[in-house]
Structure 1
Amino acid sequence: MPALAVAPPSGVEAPSWLLLDGDSGQVLAEHDADQRRAMASLTKLMTTFVVFRAIEAGRLDWDETVTVPQAVREVAGDESKMYLVPGERISIASLMRGLIIASANDAAITLAVAQAGDISRFVAEMNQEAARLGMRDTRFANVSGITAPGHYSTARDLGRLALALTREFPGYYQISAEPVFRHGQFVKHATNLMVGGDDRSVDGLKTGYTSAAGYCVIASAKRPQANGGSRRMFAVVLGADSDLRRFDDAKVLLDYGYNRFRNVQLARAGVPFGDLPIWKGASDQLGVATDHDLVLSLPDDIDPKGLRSELVGARAPLLAPISAGEAVGSYRVLLGERVVASGALYAVEPVAEGGFISRTVDAVRLLFGGGEPIAVQGDAPLASRG
Structure 2
Amino acid sequence: MHSAFPTSLRVLAATLTAGLLAVAAPAAATAATPAPAQAQPCADQSAPPPPVDTSERPAPGKPAPAPLPVPNEPVGGILMGGCGLVLPGGAPNPPDGDTAASWLVQDLDTGDVIAAKDPHARERPASLIKTLLALVVTTELKPDRIVVPTKEDAEQECTCVGIVAGGRYTVDQLLHGLLMHSGNDVAHAFATALGGVDATTTKMNLLAKRIGATDTRAATPSGLDGPGMSTSAYDLSLIFHYAMKQQEFAQAVATKAYTIPAIGGKPAIPVYNDNKLLGVYPGFLGGKTGFTDDARHTYVGAAQRDGHRLAVVMMRAEQRPTRVVDQAAKLLDYGFALHENHAAPVGRIAYEALVATAPPAPPANVAAAGAGSTAAPAKNDSFGTTGWILTLVVFVVIVAGFVIGYQRKKQARG
Q: What is the distance in 2 between the residues matched to 1:148 and 1:120?
A: 12
Equivalent residues in 2 for 1:79-98, closer than 5 Å: 79-98=158-177
Summarize deviations over 1:325-351 as a string: whole Å, max 9, x none: xxxxxxxxxxxx96669xxxxxxxxxx
Partner of 2:301: 219
1:178 aligns with 2:222: no
Q: Which structure ranks higher in relative contact order (CA pairs < 8 Å, sequence separation ≥ 6)?
A: 2
Query: Which structure: greater strand fraction?
Result: 1
Residue 305 of structure 1 corresponds to none
Q: TM-score, normalised by structure 1?
A: 0.62
Q: Tell me by how many angstroms 1:171 deviates.
A: 3.6
Provide the secondary structure at the position in 2 that maps to 1:164. Answer: helix
1:9 to 66, 90, 94: 94
* 1:193 maps onto 2:276 in alignment: yes
Structure 2: state its 5+ residue gaps: 1-76, 80-86, 261-266, 345-371, 377-414
Give TM-score, length-normalised by structure 2: 0.58
Give the 3-state SS of the residue equivalent to 1:123 in structure 2.
Answer: helix
Q: Deviations over 1:3-48 (max 9, x none)?
A: 7422331212222111111122121111122221111100100010
Distance, in Å, in 2 between the alignment partners of 1:150 and 1:340 is: 34
> For 1:339 and 1:160, how far apart are their aligned partners in 2?
18
Match of 2:318 in 1: 241
Segments of 5+ residues of structure 1 without an aligned counterpart are: 55-59, 225-229, 264-297, 301-336, 342-386
Task: State the Cα RMSD in Å.
Answer: 2.3
Q: CA deviation at 1:124?
A: 0.5
Residues 99-155 of structure 1, C-alpha deviations (whole Å, 9 max, x = no match):
1111111111112222x2212111101000110111111110111001112112111
Aligned counterparts of 1:262 and 1:8: Cα–Cα separation in 2: 16
Q: Which residue of 1 aligns with 2:40?
A: none
Confirm whether residue 106 of structure 1 aligns to residue 185 of structure 2. yes
Give the aligned partner of residue 286 of structure 2. 204
Structure 1 residue 239, shift from structure 2 partner: 1.6
Give the letter aligned to residue 232 of structure 1. R
Q: CA deviation at 1:83?
A: 1.5
One-letter amino acid matched to 1:187: P
Matches within 5 A, 1:1-386: 1=77, 4-5=88-89, 6-11=91-96, 12-54=98-140, 60-76=141-157, 79-114=158-193, 116-167=194-245, 169-183=246-260, 184-197=267-280, 199-224=281-306, 230-242=307-319, 245-262=323-340, 298-299=342-343
Partner of 2:24: none
Number of residue equivalences: 257
Q: Is the 8 A contact 1:28 1:257 kept in 2?
A: yes
How far did 1:170 drift? 3.5
Q: Does the 8 Å contact 2:144/2:171 carry over to 1? A: yes
Distance 1:52 1:113 in 2: 15
Distance 1:339 1:89, change over 3 A: closer
Instruction: Please identify the structure whose Cα radius of gyration is greater.
Output: 2
| TM-superposed deviation, 1:70 | 3.2
How far did residue 73 of structure 1 move? Answer: 4.5
Give identity over the alignment, percent: 30
Secondary structure of 2:299's partner? Answer: strand
